[in-house]
Amino acid sequence: MNKADCFHLGHIAKLHGYKGGVSLFLDVTNPSDYANLDALFIDIDNQLTPFFIESMRMSTKGFAVVTFEGVADENYAKKLLRKAVYLPAEILPELKGTNFYDHEVVGYKVIDTNHGDVGILEVVIDLKANPLLQIHKDEKEILVPLIDGVVQKVDRKKKELHITAPDGLIELYLG
């Protein structure tokens, strides 16, 4: 499995107990959507390695307590700490309209209703209280809050994200 065919689900945050369990941080909008996984891929030395899930229990604030098949002690589990976790992108249902997966729109051209081309979307910063679109244009960074009504259209064919930024925001960044 290649990273290009996958999406970043999260990372192994810490050990959970001494029998090989780990805490998995799910860096996604709705962690509970992933509560019934059978397997996932862990990036070990830049190689996606499949791990089968023996048990998984959702915890708090985007964490899940996971036990993997074949990982029965603390020493093996320590080797997984801070490793990135991936799932195949093909398992995600296709979204329509203005809905999108954060990883899906990275690299899209961002076009504002009033200012036209404002740059390339680098990342969606998924903060619980205030998610942001991080856009780069001409060595400048633009942060647009991802609030209701900002995204007007997602053009997947042209790889464009059409937005209407709050009044004065684009001028603040670009002068």
Backbone angles phi, psi at 113, to 5 degrees: -55, -40
Confidence of residue 32 (pLDDT cuts 50, 70, 90): confident
Instruction: Give yes or no: residues 77 and 108 share one domain.
Output: no
Which residues have a Cβ under 8 Å from the Cβ of 91 and sit 6 or more positions away?
A: none
Q: Whole domain around residue 137: which residue ranges?
A: 102-174
> Quick one: 51 and 19 in the same domain?
yes
Question: Is pLDDT at 44 greater than 90 in this prediction?
Answer: yes
**Domain end: 22, 57, 91, which one?**
91
- The H-or-E segment that residue 169 falls in is helix 169-174
Per-residue model confidence as pLDDT tens digits over 112-157:
999 999 999 999 988 778 899 999 999 999 999 999 999 999 999 9
Q: How many independent structural domains does the chain possess?
A: 2
pLDDT tens profile 76-98: 999 999 999 999 988 888 888 89
